[in-house]
Amino acid sequence: MTFTATIAGVPRIGPNRELKKALEAYWRDPSTGRQLATTATRLVNDYTDAALAAGLDQVAFSGRSFYDAVLDTSALLGALPERVADIPDHSNDGLPPYVDRLFAAARGTKELPASAMTKWFDTNYHYIVPELSAATQFRLEDGAWLEDLRDQVNRVGGEKIRPVLIGPLTYLSLARTTDGSDALDHLDAVFSAYNRLLPRIADRGVQWLQFDEPTLVTDVDRDLLGRVAEGYRSLASTAHDHGLKLLVQSYFGDGDVTVETLQGTGVDAIGVDLVYGNPELPSWSGDVQLVAGVVDGRNVWRTALDQALATLQQLAERGPIAVSTSCSLLHVPYSLDPETTLGDDLRSWLAFGAEKIAEVALLAKALADESQRNSEQWDAARRSVASRKTSTLTHNAAVRDRQSKIEDADRQRASVSDRRAAQQETLGLPPLPTTTIGSFPQTTEIRQARAKWRKGELSDEQYRRAMKDEVADVIRRQEALGLDVLVHGEPERNDMVQYFSEQLEGYHSTEHAWVQSYGSRCVRPPILYGDVSRPHPMTVEWFRTAQELTDKPVKGMLTGPVTMLAWSFVRDDQPLGVTADQVALALRDEIADLVDAGAKIVQVDEPAIRELLPLRKADQPAYLQWAVGAFRLATSGATSHTQIHTHMCYSEFNELIGTVGDLNADVTSIEAARNGMQVLGALRDSGFELGVGPGVWDIHSPRVPKQSEVDELLASALDSVDPALLWVNPDCGLKTRGWEETTASLEVLVSAAQNARANLA
């Protein structure tokens, strides 16, 4: 009943995005439910089989997850939002009976709003926020999950798989309440629900069960840690009564608090992140098995095997250990094999999911028998680590020389009052100006044209012409809607980070390295491997095309330096702040070229600035210093007459309003509609004096908002924000929406702004 080589968690979208395609087919046509169920089952089975064949002796098992693990937990605990309770159980085609309620909570319906969605700790994955109240009762709806578990045990044996559940502390710490109560008041109730579940899990024949508790690496109150310890003491007792062993897994930070809290409670193993936490782990006594996360589950660089083995050997002298990844492999692509455009050097430096599994297996063998270090695999890893340190691909002398000359003045602009007066004179906008965030629907025609261009079936000129026709169409549509500040719609951009990475030196854009962002949404994070520079202008042609078609101002559209790092697999051989400033210098040059081309407004999006915020408060000031500094370096070359916008989404910004102000952007648009305008109180209390656009339309839900909804949201915004500072905009970009719903929703948005202006007058 033990294991030596495992992984902390598994991806679920499929190496070729099979689950994405099956999900979207089902959302279009529910009669395809059997296909969705079969696809999800096959992906789980294939991944388990491949991991076992690669040398792992136990694999994490989350069951078939159709959207998000936190949302799965809400369904398992019978805690989906009350508003979806009347949606009937799904018919028996292999899908869980609650699946349509689950999708309604995640995506909304024409009548029902979606649940809030935000970032999973400091990653680029998103989870659906649980909605609880003081009256919430947890009633296990576990039949489908237990059936999945039974089928897997029958396939491979109960000793080879380890079911994974979100732990009570983490689930409740990520929840919101609809009545102002404290979600953590339910801690005992969730532990009790899991206690009822354990015997049913044991009856399915498994030997180990994993609870994920990444919240334990954050700042948790000591009294609360005591309650968590008592809860796991109870779970361990129940588990042992039924022949189960418990692993509690933390990740994304130092594991000492996890060990201190759980050591002595009876849990049988504790999993910790030794890549992003202290590898010496001084708190571990050796009395409980340690699942040592020495292979980075979040980034794509090859493991320094000698260093990792030394860590494992030192720990093994103190007690029993197993080798693992630092976190779930959800966050990295499946395999290097499909990537055909990687140069030999860069390929040799990388390890995607399949390669990381091989590293775990190799380290476990070497820990048991050090002669395994004499293999070609081991030698190749050594050569890779050494070559990356000295390669000319990673070091650009001109970039480093320019960076060494940055001064404090390069991060400063004129006063807010001077800028506001200059911009009002330049722009002459009405009160409550309307705009969108940047992207418009990426239609089938756009995607087909891009695919043909990449295959060589369209010439560069034919592709540019097609995209310019799309820009012209977007400008016409915006003018017809009556928007005040326009965008070119970004038809030429596949992704807001990948597009720029394809034009910057120091980046490599992959072909098939997909990872799940949320639900069916997948991204291909580029690999930032070297010093960053801009060989040529990246967006000026598209801006100029749009601005020549209208008398209204068109925004230049860029992605900010922090987001360019956060949504990439970033180099780990120098401080993040150094890399961020390199990207900032490239963006500074781009802004100068946009202004020279006539841009009066430039938007530099930073949706990820909250995402990278360190999980412990003690580490946050240093991060904020370089993150804010990089944004200001990128934007401070603009004169007072140039209005700088930024955009933020997918995260909680209430506690970071001061940082939003420190960015010193003239206008900040913030996702707010899906989060119930929670940011407004922070704006009001902080005396925020810059322009702000709290989103009044949740674009992540496939529904057109009612006029009354948007009117109410805008009225709420006006109660907290000076009308002279308020903008009216959606929550986020519109690339994932269709034109019909986009047009109808923007008509509502513009009408709400016009109504509010009339009331102000």
Q: Which residues are annotated as part of the binding site for Zn(2+)? A: 647, 649, 662, 671, 732
Q: d(Cα 215, Cα 424) in Å, to the nearest integer?
A: 46
8-state DSSP, 303:
P
In the annotated binding site for L-methionine, the residues are 437-439, 490, 605
Sorted by sequence, the CB contacts under 8 Å of residue 525 that are 6+ apart come out as 124, 497, 498, 510, 513, 515, 567, 568, 569
CB-CB contact of 162 with 60 (8 Å): yes
Q: d(Cα 199, Cα 208) in Å, to the nearest integer?
A: 12
Strand pairing report for 176-177 and 131-132: parallel
Residue 533's identity, in one-letter code, is S
Q: d(Cα 500, Cα 537) in Å, to the nearest integer?
A: 10
Give the Cβ contact number of residue 436 at 10 Å: 26
Q: Collapsing DSSP states into helix, strand and coil, what is residue 454?
A: helix
The residue among 68, 126, 125 whose CA lies nearest residue 102 is: 68
Place of tokens 């059997």: 34
Place of tokens 């997909």: 514
Q: Is the dihedral of CA 702, 708, 713, 714 positive or negative?
A: positive
Q: d(Cα 378, Cα 307) in Å, to the nearest integer?
A: 12
The residue among 3, 442, 483, 498 whose CA lies nearest residue 209 is: 3
Please provide the DSSP assignment of 204-243 as one string: TT-SEEEEE-GGGGS---HHHHHHHHHHHHHHHHHHHHTT
In the annotated binding site, the residues are 20, 124, 437-439, 490, 521-522, 567, 605, 647, 649, 662, 671, 732
Please provide the DSSP assignment of 88-117 as one string: PPPPSSSS-TTHHHHHHHHH--SSSPPPPE
| Maximum separation of any 2 CA atoms in the chain, in Å | 82
DSSP lists the bridge partners of residue 712 as none
Which residue numbers are catalytic? Answer: 700
In the annotated binding site for 5-methyltetrahydropteroyltri-L-glutamate, the residues are 20, 124, 521-522, 567
Q: d(Cα 316, Cα 309) in Å, to the nearest integer?
A: 10
Please provide the DSSP assignment of 453-498 as one string: HHTTSS-HHHHHHHHHHHHHHHHHHHHHHT-SSB--B-TT-SSTTH
Place of tokens 């009545």: 179
